[in-house]
Copies of this chain bind each other. A is one copy, B any other.
Amino acid sequence: MTVPARDLTPEEFRRLGHAFVDWIADHRDALPGLPVVPPVAPGDVAAALTGPAAAFPGRRLPEAAQPLETLLGEIDRVVVPGSTHWQHPAFFGYFPANASMASLLGDLLSGGLGAQGMLWSTSPAATETEQVLLDGFAHALGLCAAFTVAGGGGGVVQDSASSAALVALLAALHRAAPGWRDTGVDGRERVYVTAETHSSLAKAVRVAGLGARALCVVDAVAGTQAMSPAALADAMAADVAAGLRPVLVCATVGTTGTGAVDPVRAIAPVAAAHGAWLHVDAAWAGVAGLCPELRHVIDGVDLADSFCTDAHKWLLTAFDASLLWVRDATALPAALSVTPEYLRNAASESGAVVDFRDWQVPLGRRFRALKLWAVVHALGLEGLRAHLRGHVAAAVDLAARVRAEPGVVLAAPPTLGLVCLRFTTADGDADDATTRAVLERVNASGAAFVTHTVLDQRYVIRIAVGGVATEAPHVEALWDRLRAEAAAVRGTCVPPQP
């Protein structure tokens, strides 16, 4: 038997590539008819993969080569029925993860070129295209020139907002104590967040060796989930008085739980007064800054040291593409650069180029700007804005329906495409049992998927409108289903639409 000790030939790739593209086109076409979350139990997928006649009998890899087209049958048999379909138009869970088909094609080019962008010299086009695109996005978001290359700052694509927060923290640690690279942390560092700040900040604090004791959870403004600048000032002053060192404040624009927006403009001078780095985590909501009428959500970010928003959530770009800007282009390399001999090169030593390996934790990096470019090319800023506006309008409409409906209330003020609601008793009290039961029934139906949070110790359904294929009718259908399931839980008739 002949063993092909090689990759596909270009001609084989052409033929198979068309088949795989067609599979994806068919899959996206079929998605609305699939359950968003299939009924699958732990171990089901592994069992389907490892049975006697399966792909990996006994969890062993196959010895022999197989025609690649037959993989598609396995995907249909095992993977699709075992997947939560994030690209389904009725996926309203977590935050959206827009894997647009336009971005897939840009990402395919990235794989085709197969460049490593760790140094400028290892692929000049990868680095400079990323810089130009991030400058372009900075302008389109209305960020001040300080965040652009020409302004002495710059943007970089990270894999996730988690990693962006981590490198911001590392830059902050270095700025706060330049001896950090040699002697590490000293146990006096403090990082300021709120109870609603994303868990990636707690993780970054742990990864950076500070321990949970370094995390100061600042109170919210009464009756909201937004950080209180006054409480922040008090906390920082008390810490300084206790001999601790404020290193970083994380302000969130659009918290994961409820979409709360910390008052960045008021927080900035408090952070600055203590020399702390101000990082703005706008992972989900920041892209709304592309629309002038929504730009208020990122008010004040021009005062931050770093600002992050994810193109891979609501901005049509397949994971991973978290956009991070810093005001000082030297800050990340100062904290992160380590240069062994085998990475030395004339371009780096000239000082005329940026080596993005020094802006992130991993050394290797993919040419991620291509998928961003494909999205921008295919939709233009006008298309991106229309995408965002369509979801905001659908969420505004949903919130209006909630307000008009008896027995259900908004659990927090809606932000952009995020609507949080809970069901209530006849007395108007939160009815956790009904809220939870409705969520479980909606999700078990397969017709839609929503997730939850807990706010003021009460169960809340989060509805994140923003899927790459989600349009107003899908939101309307979700609303109808929520009402129907609530009626079923309560044993009542579905009330007429107001």
Question: Which of A134-183 touch B at CB < 8 Å?
Answer: 135-137, 139-140, 148, 150, 159-163, 166, 170, 173, 179-183
Known contacts being A49-B132, A340-B256, is A121 close to B13, with CB within 8 Å?
no
Residues in B neighbouring A200, C-beta threshold 8 A: 362-363
B66 lies within 8 A of A125 (CB)? no
A318 within 8 A of B: yes
A492 near B: Cβ within 8 Å? no
Option from B20, B181, B341 in Cβ contact (under 8 Å) with A454: B341
Name the one of B28, B127, B136, B211 contacting A56, with C-beta atoms under 8 angstroms.
Answer: B136
Residues of chain B lying within 8 A (CB to CB) of residue A65: 377-380, 382-383
Docked pose: A42 CA to B139 CA in angstroms: 23
Asked if A71 CB lies within 8 Å of chain B CBs, one says yes
Q: Say whether A202 faces chain B, with CB atoms less than 8 Å apart.
A: yes
B209 touches A208 (CB 8 A): yes
How many copies of the chain does the oligomer comprise?
2
Q: Is A380 touching B3 in the complex (CB atoms < 8 A)?
A: yes
Please report the total number of A residues contacting B with Cβ < 8 Å: 174
CB distance from A13 to the nearest CB of B (A): 4
A267 CB-CB contact with B under 8 Å: no
A278 to B436 Cα, complex, angstroms: 46
Q: Is the interface of A mostly helix, strand, loop or mixed?
A: helix
Residues of A357-385 contacting chain B, CB below 8 A: 361-366, 370, 373-374, 376-383
> How far, in whole Å, are A316 and B7 apart by their CA atoms in the complex?
8
A497 located at the interface, meaning its Cβ lies under 8 Å from any Cβ of chain B in the complex: no
| Interface residue ranges of A6-38 to B (CB < 8 Å) | 6-8, 10-14, 16-18, 20-29
User: Are A137 and B68 in touch, CB under 8 angstroms?
Assistant: no
Rounded to whole angstroms, the CA-CA distance of A381 and B27 in the bound complex is 30
How long is the Cα–Cα vector from A148 to B44 in the complex, in angstroms? 18
Provide the bound-state CA to CA distance between A170 and B389, in Å.
Answer: 42
Q: Is the CB of A113 within 8 A of B163?
A: no
A49 touches B128 (CB 8 A): yes
Q: Is A61 an interface residue when CB atoms closer than 8 A count as contact?
A: yes
Write out the residue numbers on chain B whose beta carbons fall within 8 Å of the beta carbon of A186: 187
A55 cross-chain contacts in B, Cβ below 8 A:
373, 377
CA distance A46 to B316 in the complex (A): 24
A294 at the interface (CB under 8 A from B): no
Stretch at the interface among A325-333, A345-353, A404-412: A345-353
Q: Please name the residue on chain B nearest to A163 by beta carbon.
A: B362
Tell me the bound Cα distance from A230 to B9 in angstroms.
50
The reply to whether A10 and B29 form a contact with Cβ atoms under 8 Å apart is yes
Sample of 22 A–B contacts (CB below 8 Å): A3-B382, A3-B383, A5-B390, A10-B26, A17-B24, A24-B111, A24-B112, A28-B112, A45-B125, A61-B139, A63-B381, A65-B380, A79-B125, A86-B114, A97-B116, A108-B108, A116-B319, A170-B207, A257-B340, A257-B341, A320-B364, A342-B451
